[in-house]
Amino acid sequence: MLSVAICIATVVLAVVYMVLSITIVPAGTVGVVDVFGQVRDDPLPAGMNFVFPLASVVKMSIKTQIIELAENVPTKEGLTVHLEAAALIRLEPQEAVKMYRQVGYNYMPKVVIPQFRSIVREVTSGHEAKDLYTSVARTAMTADLKSQLGEAVKVRGVVVEETPLKKLELPKALQQAIEDKLQAEQASQKMQFVLDRERQEAERKGIEAEGISAFQKIVSNDINEGMLRWKGVEATQKLTNSPNTRIVIVGSGKNGLPLILNDEESEIGKRWVSKKK
């Protein structure tokens, strides 16, 4: 009976030991094993793991996290602008043990956020306030922020994925001055367009006038008095043969032109003659 009891106790203890040794590491995290202050070199992967029952397993996230910053920052000329920025970062799994040893579990407010705040100020101080109004300057700021922050936290095993600028507010007076300048530039460009269009229209009219002048010169060289008299004779012959013609009066002299009178005009002429009589 004693041996059976011992066996049962041994099995129970073994089961209890196994149960206490099981540790579940959630997805997106790694486990750092800490046994009485001694940290194991290799982190535990996600899933079920067996560890010493008295060991403490610290779960550290390796998911992409976002940190946000909203504060007033200086520009190159000393003005203050309100900037809202963000950074998407993640911890490298193989660097989790190093981060836990050197900084601890809550590393974000100790390592990343101070560096982020300092670099944002450094980046904005390298640009003038008027340049921050353009997309080119904002793109350059985003690239500089990502590069410098990535270099600053790389030694801690932190990777910077993106550093978007969410909002940028310039001083009201400066913003109004920039808008006025942009409107003036747009008006100037519009006026330049109108001037170019009028200039092109003037050139077109000049070319058209030259063409008309050249045509008139060519035609005038081929037209003489004899030709005009012959055309007049041809026109008179056609009028006399036309069924619509009622009265054709040929002008006197060598330059006389035919005159056509219809029925209504003939009737008026007869009445006028009768009145004169």
C-alpha–C-alpha distance, residues 203 and 205, integer Å: 5
pTM: 0.56
User: What are the Cα distances from residue 131, in Å, to 51, 76, 94?
Assistant: 57, 10, 41
Q: Is the same domain home to 95 and 140?
A: yes
Tell me the pLDDT of the chain (277 aa) as tens digits. 667 777 777 777 777 767 677 888 999 999 999 988 889 989 999 998 888 888 889 999 999 999 998 888 888 877 788 888 999 999 999 999 999 999 988 899 998 999 999 999 888 888 877 777 778 888 888 899 999 999 999 999 999 999 988 888 776 766 666 667 777 878 888 888 888 888 888 888 888 888 887 777 776 666 666 666 667 777 777 766 766 655 555 555 555 555 554 544 445 444 544 544 4
Q: 152 and 81, same structural domain? A: yes
**Residue 258, Cβ neighbours under 10 Å: how many?**
17
Among residues 222, 240, 262, which one ends one of the domains?
A: 222
Number of domains in the chain: 4
Question: Domain containing 204: what range?
Answer: 172-222
Cβ atoms of 77 and 119 closer than 8 Å:
no
Q: How far apart are CA 271 and CA 243, in angstroms?
A: 24
> Is residue 69 domain-shared with residue 162, that is, in the same domain?
yes
- Burial class of 108 by CB neighbour count within 10 A (0 to 12, 13 to 18, 19+): middle
**Domain shared by 30 and 56, yes or no:** yes
Based on the fold, state whether residues 145 and 78 are members of the same structural domain. Answer: yes
